[in-house]
């Protein structure tokens, strides 16, 4: 069987960790891949641990003992968060994004895997100390951000549908009031989506009145689930009072001046401390 | 400024490559991160190149010269593809997935980031030699697989909507006939979603008659786009004649015996050669 050099094992370990953050890999798993003794792997992991810390990638957590293993927990530095948020502000405030009716075209941003991954890195960093079982979102535009956040936190995603679908099996449906438009809408979620007493992080792309997030929180009550946090990519400054109290936003949309073609958006300063 | 050991640079390089496959990183970018000379980085990349090949992670492509750089192209081995496909078959054929009406509950699978990433690894491997500008899908269930495929191939995703949305700006809408149910449905895509003459890969979760994929292909004509391939996760064996000719499926659903609770699903043998 092939043997690998330390250099090669370090590189391979880092790839495996990076592709599946927050997952506990057993030392035995690595022993098999590298055809190496546990003591060797354990030294390799120590080197990876140091490099992850020195390069500010986050941290490696190790668990010792027979069933021991290691896990990579990516955490962004404040500098990286600042850089990502400032890139996002530039992107979202591009003049040509203003649509008739004073809306902003954001679809391309929320469907760009690299941008979405950067957003997910921030959200998952912010919630890296929480015990989370599921990410919950509502279709459609928030799905990519939510999926990438779920990937970073190594948990499944549950997608609430706007309509009842036959392929979802038995579902729970609720009516909710859209905070900004006062319309009554329906959302439904498959009964099989969440286990009982799950801890969930609600993720969405945009919050104005907060009605959708409030609806999702209400839905969670039907599933006996505990909402440990709510994260939205953009919140509007107005209305200041949202229908949910406890949420984290990455960006704040202060104003859209459709006539002048100016979108005023800024990083949420609460994040950067 | 900090200096890093070779071990550490190799690990960090592999992390950076793994998190953004198919992206060309310049040597200068690495020089800055590691505070190292280009000759050093170039040696590091050579080591990474060797390890990626020895461990069958795919390949590293390097471009020399002043604007030179390196790119990681992940490619699965046949063994890994086999293993993933066999895991998928076990998952999809679980007895308790059968819903009233003979449907199969698949939502949890298509929303699990790790499973979806494995599916995306296969699709992106299969199309790693094609020049692709966009992944195109239609909401909702195919979005996670499509996003992960887009991430692996380092291209944006365009999501066709079932309804016209005000936030999408001006859209192109088409009517199409669902191949299995003969219903006429509408799909629409924002004009801004694709650049002219784009090369697109169509991705979807499920194909029965092929009407949806045919609809997406028709939509692509409206955008002057060139469909370089169509990938679906599952196709049904019947009807054998689909509305699209040229497509790749990962799994074939042969039969659902709702009474006996048996789902017969197999890996598409065409993939594994």
Give A119-140 pLDDT, tens digit per residue.
Answer: 999 999 999 999 999 999 999 9
Give A213-244 pLDDT, tens digit per residue.
Answer: 999 999 999 999 999 999 999 999 999 999 99
Kindly determine whether residue B147 and residue A148, on different chains, have CB atoms separated by under 8 Å: yes
- Whether residue A149 is predicted with pLDDT greater than 90 in this model: the reply is yes
Coil, helix or strand for A266?
A: strand
Could you read off the pLDDT tens digit of each residue along chain B, which spans 273 residues?
A: 789 999 999 999 999 999 999 999 999 999 999 999 999 999 999 999 999 999 999 999 999 887 789 999 999 999 999 999 999 999 999 999 999 888 999 999 999 999 999 999 999 999 999 999 999 999 999 999 999 999 999 999 999 999 877 788 899 999 998 766 778 999 999 999 999 999 999 999 999 999 999 999 999 999 999 999 999 999 999 999 999 999 999 999 999 999 999 999 999 999 876
Residue with tokens 């530039």: A90
Q: Domain A78-272 is of which CATH architecture?
A: 3-Layer(aba) Sandwich (3.40)
What is the reported pLDDT for A262?
96
3-state secondary structure chain B: CCCCCHHHHHHHHHHHHHHCCCCCEEHHHHHHHHCCCHHHHHHHHHHHHHHHHHCCCEEEEEECCCCCEEEEEECCCHHHHHHHHHHHHHHHCCHHHEECCCEECCHHHHCCHHHHHHHHHHHHHHCCCCCCCEEEEECCCCHHHHHHHHHHHCCCEEEEECCCCHHHCCEEEEEEECCCCCCEEEEEEEHHHCCCCCEEEEEEEEECCCHHHHHHHHHHHHCCCEEEEEEEEEEECCCCCCCCCCCEEEEEEEEEECCCCEEEEEECHHHHC
> What ipTM does the predicted assembly reach?
0.96
Question: Taking Cα atoms as reference points, which of B247, B236, B198, B244 lies closest to residue B218?
Answer: B244
CB contacts, 8 Å: A233 with chain B: none
**CB nearest to B8's CB, from A51, A147, A148:** A51
What is the reported pLDDT for A179?
64
Element spanning A126, H or E? helix A113-126
Give A18-66 pLDDT, tens digit per residue.
Answer: 999 999 999 999 999 999 999 999 999 999 999 999 999 999 999 988 7
What is the reported pLDDT for A235?
97
Q: Is B108 on the interface with A (CB under 8 A)?
A: yes
Stretch A133-156: mean pLDDT, rounded? 97
- CA–CA min distance B264, chain A (Å): 18
CB contacts, 8 Å: B112 with chain A: 156-157
- Please state the domain extents for chain A: 6-74, 78-272
The pTM of the whole model exceeds 0.95? yes
- Whether residue A99 is predicted with pLDDT greater than 70 in this model: the reply is yes
What is the reported pLDDT for B34?
96
Using CB atoms and an 8 Å cut-off, which of residues 189-248 of chain A contact chain B?
Answer: 190, 192-193
What is the reported pLDDT for B179?
65
Q: Sign of the CA dihedral A217, A221, A222, A224?
A: positive
Beta strands (DSSP E) in A148-211 are 157-160, 171-177, 184-190, 199-207
Q: Is A176 on the interface with B (CB under 8 A)?
A: no
CB contacts, 8 Å: B169 with chain A: 99, 105
- Whether residue A185 is predicted with pLDDT greater than 80 in this model: the reply is yes
Q: Is B139 on the interface with A (CB under 8 A)?
A: yes
The CATH class of B6-74 is mainly alpha
What is the reported pLDDT for B1?
76
- CA–CA min distance A245, chain B (Å): 26
């Amino acid at each position: 069987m092939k043997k690998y050099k330390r250099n090669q094992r370090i590189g391979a370990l880092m790839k495996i960790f990076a592709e599946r953050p927050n997952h506990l890999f057993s030392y035995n798993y690595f022993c098999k891949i590298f055809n190496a003794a546990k003591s060797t792997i354990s030294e390799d992991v120590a080197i990876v641990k140091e490099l992850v810390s020195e390069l500010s990638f986050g941290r490696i957590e190790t668990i010792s003992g027979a069933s021991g293993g290691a896990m990579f927990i990516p955490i962004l530095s404040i500098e990286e968060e600042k850089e990502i948020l400032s890139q996002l502000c530039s992107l979202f405030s591009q003049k040509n994004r203003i649509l008739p009716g004073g809306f902003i075209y954001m679809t391309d941003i929320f469907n760009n895997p690299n941008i979405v991954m950067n957003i997910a890195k921030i959200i998952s960093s912010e919630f890296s100390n929480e015990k989370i079982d599921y990410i919950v979102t509502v279709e459609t535009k928030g799905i990519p951000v939510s999926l990438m956040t779920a990937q970073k936190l190594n948990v499944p995603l549950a997608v609430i549908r706007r309509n009842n679908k036959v392929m979802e099996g038995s579902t729970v449906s609720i009516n909710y009031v859209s905070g900004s438009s006062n319309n009554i809408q329906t959302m439904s979620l498959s009964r099989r989506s969440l286990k009982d007493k799950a801890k969930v992080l609600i993720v969405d792309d945009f919050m104005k009145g907060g009605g959708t997030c409030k609806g999702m929180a209400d839905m969670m009550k039907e599933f006996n689930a505990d909402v440990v946090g709510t994260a939205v990519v953009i919140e509007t400054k107005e209305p200041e009072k949202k229908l949910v109290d406890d949420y984290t936003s990455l960006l704040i949309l202060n104003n859209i001046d459709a006539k002048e073609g100016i979108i005023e958006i800024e990083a949420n300063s609460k994040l950067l401390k």
